Amino acid sequence: MLLYSLQGYGVKRLIVNVLALLSVAMGFTYPAYANDAVKILALGDSLTAGYGLAQSDSFPSQLETVLRDQGHDITVINGGVSGDTSAGGRSRLDWLVDSSVDLVLIELGANDGLRGLDPSETRTNLDWILNRLKEKKVPAVLTGMLAPPNLGADYGAEFKAIYPDLAVQYAIAFDPFFLQGVAADPALNQADGIHPNKDGVLIIVKRLVPLLLDVLKK
């Protein structure tokens, strides 16, 4: 029986279970042990999915690695789909967010801008996503995006304003620009000049880690 326990559950879990049983037998209360890691869902497009990268170099994978290297038992779910718009993220949200998700990081809108979609549509979709997460009582972190400059200053200003406006409206943590410190730097991007390489992704990850941990602590 002992051998089966060691093989099936692992030494760590076995020790915890034994301690819990002893505590009950001796009349002590023992704090609940979380067998499952905290789960962060990264909801996004190709910037999240890891377009052009090995899976281990994608944003969710590197984020999880850095968090675990810092001693945090956190799993990051890759909810990125290349080519996805804010409407696509909206359509997938309920399928992706179940009771096991503790936090959602939202990275959407880049493809809306590239396609020149009406910023009001992007705003409506992101508003729906944030409201739905509020209903589910799942905290969110919103990352901002900028529109391509060729669409004009008015379009760019209207698009950029979507993110801080919604962050204030829902009183959530906000990162102004997902590609901050990486965009337009050839050394940190792939040949297409749009998608970060693994070094660029790591810069984004290191910037976002403190923000994510702060939200989880609260």
Catalytic: which of 45, 98, 192, 214? Answer: 192
Sheet with 103-107: list strands edge to edge.
Answer: 74-80, 38-44, 103-107, 140-143, 173-175
Instruction: Pick the closest to residue 63 from 54, 53, 52, 74 (CA basis).
Output: 74
What's the CA dihedral at 80, 81, 85, 86 to 10 degrees?
Answer: -30
Could you tell me the CA-to-CA distances from 121 to 30, 125, 132, 218 in Å, in that order? 50, 6, 17, 31
- 195: annotated active-site residue: yes
Options 46, 58, 61, 86, the catalytic residue: 46
Catalytic hit among 84, 112, 195, 214: 195
Tokens (6 digits) for 15: 């020790």
Residue 124 is encoded by which pair of tokens?
């409506």
**Is residue 42 classed as helix, strand or coil in its secondary structure?**
strand
CB 164 within 8 A of CB 175: no
Could you give the C-alpha distances from 164 to 117, 141, 159, in angstroms and in order?
Answer: 19, 12, 10
Residues annotated as part of the active site: 46, 192, 195
